[in-house]
Amino acid sequence: MIVRKTAAELEKMRRSGLLVWRVLKALERMVEPGISTMDLEVAAERMIRDAGARPAFKGYYVPAVGRQYPFVLCTSVNEEIVHGMPSPKRVLKEGDIVSIDTGVELEGYYGDSAITVPVGRISPEAERLLRVTREALELAIDRARQGNRLLDISAAIETHVQAAGFSVVRDYVGHGIGTRLHEEPQVPNYVDRRNENPRLKEGMVLAIEPMVAAGRAEVALRPDRWTAVTRDGSYAAHFEHCVAVTANGPLVLTRPEDNEP
């Protein structure tokens, strides 16, 4: 069942979303050659708990893995697509890209967002991968309007990514969000007419998160059973925002509006 949120609930989700945004912006500033992904993890947990919130990912049980996720962040480097685990041994170097994904629970409501950050100077192709993935997310956000269908969002992502010569990762999708981290509906980044295709209505909140591979879309799992990587070793990028469908158009809950500090 898709749960539509009231205006009061959206305000609470906005507070959790903006906390995620502040954490990600601080981590983005920390990223440089020589820092470890565990350095990012420690800083993120401190910021979240200091704000009176609870990390959404840490302790989250995933049936497919059979255990709880042990960290606040997912930090996925280069060919890692999603769910990379922080480690003091994973030291970032010039030319890497790192996806940082995190969520919080504040006042009973969740926020969830992801960015992919260059480490120092990166290759032109990696720069283009990040740009195209960001653009795909923005195009998808613009489709999150009353009266559209869910697959309008999916089509915006897939069309833009494929036109750039990149591949949409199909094994992982976006999701509804609210009083639970993952709610209905699933939000695929590609069009498959077998998927659910509900009409978008006011109060729906979607975590839209294109995951894009520079090469082929096939996925493999590392032995840790969490970290998903491109099977061909190509770089992957991941950006995510939580977006509310409102009478006035899409409202991105995980970043400030133009007139906000």
The tens digit of pLDDT for each residue in 131-165 reads 999 999 999 999 999 999 999 999 999 999 999 99
DSSP state of 206: E
Task: For residue 140, tell me if it sits in a domain.
Answer: yes
Coil vs helix vs strand at 26: helix
Instruction: Indicate the number of domains in the chain.
Output: 1
For tokens 């906390």, the residue is 19
Let me know if residue 260 belongs to a domain.
no
pLDDT(181) > 50 = yes
In a domain, 232, yes or no: yes
Q: Give the three-state DSSP class for 128.
A: helix
Percent above pLDDT 90 for the chain:
96
Q: Can you tell me which residue has the tokens 């520079």?
A: 214
* Confidence (pLDDT) at 259: 47
First-last CA distance in the chain? 35
Measured between alpha carbons, how far is residue 40 from residues 24, 59, 88, 121, 217 in Å?
10, 18, 10, 19, 28
Burial (CB < 10 A; 0-12, 13-18, 19+), residue 250, is buried
Kindly state the percentage of the chain with pLDDT values over 70.
98
In this predicted model, what pLDDT tens digit does every residue of 67-119 receive, in sequence order?
A: 999 999 999 999 999 999 999 999 999 999 999 999 999 999 999 999 999 99
- Round to whole Å and give the CA distance between 144 and 153: 7
The CATH number assigned to the domain holding 171 equals 3.90.230.10
Domain with 27, as residue range(s), is 7-252
Q: Confidence band (pLDDT; 50, 70, 90) for 260? A: low
Residue 226 pLDDT greater than 90, yes or no: yes
Residues 210, 168: contact at Cβ < 8 Å? yes
177 has a pLDDT exceeding 80:
yes
Phi, psi at 190, each rounded to 5°:
-150, 165
By the 8 A CB rule, do 139 and 152 touch?
no
Whether residue 261 is contained in a domain is answered as no
**DSSP readout, 19-58?**
HHHHHHHHHHHH--TT-BHHHHHHHHHHHHHHTT-EESST
Contacts of 65 (CB under 8 A, 6+ apart): 225, 226
Is 128's pLDDT higher than 70?
A: yes
Query: Across all residues in the chain, what is the average pLDDT?
Result: 97
In a domain, 258, yes or no: no
Q: Is the pLDDT of residue 56 over 50?
A: yes
CA neighbor of 253 nearest in space, from 243, 238, 239: 243
Q: Is residue 93 part of a domain?
A: yes
Lowest mean pLDDT across 120-124, 173-177, 190-194: 190-194
How far CA 214 is from CA of 66, 127, 165, 236, 243, in Å, comes to 30, 11, 8, 6, 26
Look up residue 180 and give its two tokens: 């639970």
Tell me if 1 is assigned to some domain. no
Does residue 35 have a pLDDT over 90? yes
pLDDT category, 195, cuts 50, 70, 90? Answer: confident
Computed from CA positions of residues 92, 94, 95, 98, in that sequence, does the dihedral angle turn out positive or negative? positive
Averaged over 228-243, what is the pLDDT?
Answer: 98
Residue 111, Ramachandran bin (φ over 0: left; ψ between -120 and 50: alpha; else beta):
beta
With a cut of 90, say whether residue 166 has pLDDT above it. yes
CB 69 within 8 A of CB 86: no
- At 258 the pLDDT is 66
Q: Is 257 within the bounds of a domain?
A: no
